[in-house]
Structure 1
Amino acid sequence: MAQVAFWGFQHGLGVTSNTAAMSALIGTEYQIRTLSSQPQWGDTSLERSFQKSLKQNTELYDLSGFGMDAIERAVRAGKLQNETVKNNSIFIERDRLDLLLNSRKASRSQFEAGAEVFKIVYDRAKAYYDVVLLDLHSGTNSEVTNALIETSDLVVVCINQNIHVIEKFFGDKESWPSALKDRPHVLMVGQYDLHSKYKLKNIANKYGYKAPILSIPYNTNFKDHYNDGDLKGFITRNRYINKNHDNYIFMQELRRAAEHILTEIGVNTQIKSIQKGVS
């Protein structure tokens, strides 16, 4: 149905952790088919954030026959079907969240040469999935990134509270990928410090920004689970905490961001939300 790309001007802005957090939350709390993928050469950090779930769910699989490289072979052989991506992905939450293992291309040049194939694969994935969440390489020096921004229905531009990064977003449109200028996008502040003077409201006021700004607060417990490869476990264990819990604000902001993103791409979040006690 829709493709959402997470992207940042530079590395170190939490793009992968933001993508992973959104994937885990949406896969847990919404009855929709979601695919999460990281089309970046030599990077498997998105996969590692779900390592415990992957280990539990892949015992019966021969992983050599899975992932982007297997799908690319199907594309080149003219055998790509609507469910090819599904059949070559690993489920994190059955029927709700799948993870497409990244390409294991030996060189970056080989990887980047497949930009058109990536576009074909994710376009076909939208025939099966309600939402495809992509963790893109930061910056503008990746042909794959540029191609996928061009075909995304929504781009989540990830920044932090570093004033130089903020000013780059608001004041240096020349550094934007050309495709982004024509794409619907939303601003997300990751690793958000609630005590910083660069609060969302202050940022919006300073630059006269009228659109919503999403945030994912910095949270030590979330970061530890992310590093331990147990992101699904973190979301599951913190789903029904009360407002006095240390992780409550984090979960509320995560939900707010997920609801906004899904609404932007046409998902009725009230209908698709999974109520408490339903799995």
Structure 2
Amino acid sequence: MSLIAVWSPLKSGSGSTMLASSLPIVLALEYQVKVLLAHGGHAGERVEQAFTCKQEALDYMTAFQDTGMDALERLRAGGRLSPENVRNYTLPLLSDRLDLLCGPKPMPADAIHATGNAEDRKQAELMTRVMESSKRSYDLTVADAGNGVPGAADRAILQAADLIVVGLNQNLHILESAIEQERLPPEVSDKACLYIVGKYDRDSHCTLHNIKRRFGIKTTVLGVPYCSGMTDAWNMRSVMPYMQRSRGGADLKRMSSLYNAVRNLADAVAEQLGLPAGGSKLGGLHALG
């Protein structure tokens, strides 16, 4: 039904990839939705680094040749790509709730040089088709569109998105360069957006309110705190069990500040996209709307 792109104009330091891996988990846990997690990078990159999959017991490239974007490209080339069969080439993360679509194998450098713009066009066309199909076979798709200047696949994600979550940080010098100098791609400037300040320090003078006022942001701005536990979980490819523990049990009374912040974002996304009520507003970090 809907596509959420997570993207940052900053080359690094916004925590947008960690957010892209945790947001679909929270949406799948808190809302009655079937979610697909995808990204515009290559196999083994970006959000894939957050999870341990059974296939990793085998040779990596061999294990993924029958799933992910490479398999969907073969279907597209044969005229057999459809919304109904996209699910068959994903990896389940939460049974019947959350699936992962892995990226394509990276091409050798000489092949990239030889194909040039033709390869970019092929990647963009495939991603566009896949995102269109995912909207019909999943309730929500969350796609990591990377950092900095978007590549061909990332531009296709941004173009197809119904909502873009834009990752920022509290470094005003970097934000001035990335936002004030009109470096946002056109795919972002014309879309509905929510803004997330990653690794947020609420004791800093660079508050959410100040960022919103300084850059004339008219929509919601939320903060997601730095969390050493999440950093460790990322390094151990155990973001899924970490987020499940961070939820605090069935009564939600021991919910971590990180989970609370991501759930605030999930609630804002649900409100923006008109998802069925399934979460409640929890008074965690500050949110400016």
Normalised by the size of structure 1, how large is the TM-score? 0.86
Contact 2:127–2:153 (CA<8 Å) still a contact in 1?
yes
Equivalence for 1:7: 7
C-alpha offsets along residues 154-191 of structure 1, whole Å, 9 cap, x if unaligned? 11111111112332454222x11112121111111111
User: Closer, same or farther in 2 for the Cα pair 1:128/1:143, shift >3 Å?
Assistant: same
- Matched to 2:98, the amino acid is L
Equivalence for 1:55: 54
Contact 2:55–2:63 (CA<8 Å) still a contact in 1?
no
Equivalence for 1:99: 100
Contact 1:57–1:90 (CA<8 Å) still a contact in 2?
no
Equivalence for 1:202: 210
Which aligned pairs between 1:1-279 and structure 2 lie closer than 5 A? 1-12=1-12, 13-41=14-42, 44-51=45-52, 54-55=53-54, 63-107=64-108, 109=116, 112-113=120-121, 114-168=123-177, 170-173=179-182, 175-240=183-248, 248-270=256-278
- Matched to 2:217, the amino acid is Y
Distance 2:256 2:85 in 1: 38
Q: Using the aligned pairs only, state the percent identity.
A: 26
Aligned length: 268
Shift of 1:100: 0.4
Contact 2:44–2:102 (CA<8 Å) still a contact in 1?
no
**Aligned CA-pair RMSD:** 2.7
Structure 1: unaligned runs, 5 residues or longer: 274-279
Distance 1:65 1:34 in 2: 21
Structure 2: unaligned runs, 5 residues or longer: 282-289
Equivalence for 1:277: none
Normalised by the size of structure 2, how large is the TM-score? 0.83
Shift of 1:42: 6.1
User: Closer, same or farther in 2 for the Cα pair 1:210/1:182, shift >3 Å?
Assistant: closer
Give the ranges of 4+ consecutive aligned residues of structure 1 lying more than 4 Å apart after TM superposition: 56-59, 107-111, 241-245
User: Closer, same or farther in 2 for the Cα pair 1:248/1:2, shift >3 Å?
Assistant: same
SS at match of 1:64: coil
Contact 2:224–2:261 (CA<8 Å) still a contact in 1?
yes
